[in-house]
Amino acid sequence: MYQHGRVYKILIIFLPGILFCFIIYSQEIQHYCSSENGVVGAGRKGSAEAGIQMLTRGGNSADGAAATILALSITDYGSYCIGAEVPLMFFDAKTKKVKVFSGMGTAPRDPEAIQWYYENGIPPGDIKAAAVPAVIDLVVTLLQHCGSMSFEDISQPALTLLARENEPWYPDLAVTIDKLIDAERNASGSRNKKLQAVADRFYRGDIADDLVAWYARMGGFLTKEDLALHRTHIEEPVTINYKGYQICKCGPWTQGPVLCQTLKLLEGFDLKSMGHNSALYIHTVIEALKLAMADRDRYYGDPIFVDVPLEALLSEEYCLMRRTLIDMNRAGQIPRPGDPVNMKPVIDSGKFEAWPEGTTTCVVADKLGNLVAATPSGWGNDDETGGNTGVTHGTRLISLNTAKGHPNRIEPGKRPRITLTPTIVLREGHPVMAISVAGGDLQDQTALQVLLNIIEFDMDPFRAANAPRFANYLHQDSFNPDPVRYRTVPDPPVIQINREVSTEKIEGLASKGHMIDQTEGAIGVPAIVFIDKDGMKHAATDIKTLQEVSSSE
């Protein structure tokens, strides 16, 4: 069949009493697969296959994710680049533990540079908006702690892609990766020491020298010290329990805890009885998201620099109070942050009045049950690609701001509060799901709906990724560094809904005061890995997107 100029095929599966009809985009993009031996969901053509090559050669999920992350910097260039960032979560099948790898660089450490931002703002689109590049150290740290393969091994798919020389910067980046491989080959000692030589050459060696010279030439503020001091933090996840599932997220240097708080707000409602995507269901979820995102905008920041009251934000007492603010008949029209410190549902209006897409996906499961969820991002800047290094940098510092007293204000060596927010879900200690979403402020909103589709409405992963979605825009724009934060909130606020939602439901939402924008496009770009009770691994993406999946046979 034809739809919007694309070719699709229909896959019909009969089970006792049930007919499943999946429309799968077949023009060289696979949106669903399953295997006992491992699956990968990632970005454009060639990215998922990079991870599968590692699994097929005996690598684990960490090796597969590392290869995919490097390949994505080529296949998904424009949404992600190798000089940007990748927050990542890893479930270890042996220890049954989830670890968070921060994969996020910092602002420059020079106080004079920070003062320049305070006086001039954070400019989008040039090297002054770049954080310290985090991808290479993330890959090395992941391989050291969780992987089994060498940097040379996991780099081969990326080098194959670069050999096509489709872009002027491909040869330069290939040379940089070859230099890193040479560092590993020439280093002595253990595997970990050889891997460390890769990071050392990039952050403290001749590649760092080339980058610093480029920063100076382009008017950037990053220095050799900024590169040399960079390390990937390994952290414990933020976790909550919801309906027997353990939801694991990165900390409040991302927007990840928004998903946890929204689920805590929603657990007081019988969502299943409302019906999937009914007007009442959409209204309830949207209103809970508004409350959680208002708290995000007021309290989240790099916890190394600010005291984020996360335990209170996710507490039963606080979420119960906040839940009472959800009016089942009327849409909220202004952001309403609460006061978790003093346990008040809404903060006193006199306190702190400053509140007023380029990402891709990576999820991997191997035959042993190790699980990775990562959200690579960094849409690049308008300057050249790292001089002769081929290392395009992101512009993530625009996710900071210069508002006095704001927890996400730019400071020397501070991480931005980013929207990138991978998810791992466990049940009784066993891995169930890894979710990665592209879509800026929509990421946790999309992940929430995918989770609810599976947990509340018993959908399989393909249906969960392809069911119509909706989005709330009553929140601050995470990519607008305006110090007057209320100016970044849309006025009037709208909710966006896929056109597949019926007119009757749209009218029901409008009657509650929602302003609605309907769209035929994808709302958020999810990739899911799901492990069923029999150990079969499934990967799925949205047929409206270019994200692909691949499996190991």
Domain boundaries, the chain: 39-233+377-420
Name which of 37, 159, 20 is nearest 550 in CA terms: 37
Name which of 86, 66, 45 is nearest 394 in CA terms: 86
Decide: 90 and 62 in contact? Cβ < 8 Å: yes
**Token code pair at residue 294:** 């208002």
Helix residue spans in 76-127 (DSSP H): 111-120
Q: % helix / strand / coil in the chain, to the nearest 5?
A: 35, 20, 45
Please give the pLDDT value at position 3.
Answer: 29
Please give the pLDDT value at position 136.
Answer: 99
CA 334 to chain centre: 26
Omega of the bond prior to 376 within 30 degrees of 0, cis?
A: no
Q: Tell me which residue has tokens 């890995």.
A: 529
**Token code pair at residue 329:** 């008949």
Instruction: Note the pLDDT tens digit of each residue in 39-51.
Output: 999 999 999 999 9
d(CA 377, CA 360): 6
**Token code pair at residue 51:** 């991870």
Q: Residue 417: left (phi > 0), alpha (psi -120 to 50), or beta?
A: beta
d(CA 97, CA 100): 10
- Nearest 5°: phi and psi at 22? -105, 125
- pLDDT of 407 > 70? The answer is yes
d(CA 421, CA 300): 13
Predicted confidence band of residue 479 (pLDDT cuts 50, 70, 90): confident
First to last CA, the chain: 29
Predicted confidence band of residue 487 (pLDDT cuts 50, 70, 90): confident
d(CA 65, CA 493): 38
> Based on the number of CB atoms within 10 Å of its own CB, is 405 exposed (0-12), middle (13-18) or buried (19 or more)?
exposed
DSSP-assigned letter for residue 521: S
DSSP-assigned letter for residue 303: T
Name which of 547, 539, 285 is nearest 433 in CA terms: 539
Q: Tell me which residue has tokens 């450490």.
A: 109
User: Which DSSP string corresponds to 330-344?
Assistant: S---S----BTTTTB
Element (H, E) at 15: strand 6-15
d(CA 382, CA 380): 7
DSSP-assigned letter for residue 215: H
Element (H, E) at 55: helix 47-56
Instruction: Note the pLDDT tens digit of each residue in 151-180.
Output: 999 999 999 999 987 888 999 999 999 999
Kindly state the average pLDDT of the residues 198-225. Answer: 97
User: Which DSSP string corresponds to 257-297?
Assistant: HHHHHHHHHHTTS-HHHH-TT-HHHHHHHHHHHHHHHHHHH
Please give the pLDDT value at position 16.
Answer: 33
User: Which DSSP string corresponds to 154-192?
Assistant: HHHHHHHHHTT--STTHHHHHHHHHHHHHHHHH--SSHH
Predicted confidence band of residue 96 (pLDDT cuts 50, 70, 90): very high
Decide: 448 and 285 in contact? Cβ < 8 Å: yes
Quote the Cα angle for 548-543-286, to 5°: 110
**Token code pair at residue 286:** 């949207």
- pLDDT of 192 > 70? The answer is yes
- pLDDT of 262 > 60? The answer is yes
- pLDDT of 248 > 90? The answer is yes
**Token code pair at residue 43:** 């970005």
Decide: 40 and 539 in contact? Cβ < 8 Å: yes
Identity of the amino acid at 366: D
Predicted confidence band of residue 396 (pLDDT cuts 50, 70, 90): very high
- Nearest 5°: phi and psi at 117? -60, -40
Decide: 410 and 473 in contact? Cβ < 8 Å: no
> Based on the number of CB atoms within 10 Å of its own CB, is 441 exposed (0-12), middle (13-18) or buried (19 or more)?
buried
- Nearest 5°: phi and psi at 344? -120, 140
Element (H, E) at 90: strand 88-92
Strand partners, 455: none
**Token code pair at residue 519:** 């769209």
d(CA 82, CA 395): 12
Q: What is the CA radius of gyration of the chain?
A: 22
Predicted confidence band of residue 259 (pLDDT cuts 50, 70, 90): very high
Please give the pLDDT value at position 7.
Answer: 34
d(CA 449, CA 471): 10
Half-sphere exposure at residue 463, Cβ-oriented, CA atoms within 13 angstroms? 13
d(CA 111, CA 21): 59
d(CA 142, CA 374): 11
- pLDDT of 12 > 60? The answer is no
Instruction: Note the pLDDT tens digit of each residue in 444-475.
Output: 999 999 999 999 999 999 999 999 999 999 89
Angle between helices 170-186 and 151-162 (to 10 degrees): 160
Decide: 274 and 284 in contact? Cβ < 8 Å: yes
Strand partners, 339: 344
- pLDDT of 126 > 90? The answer is no
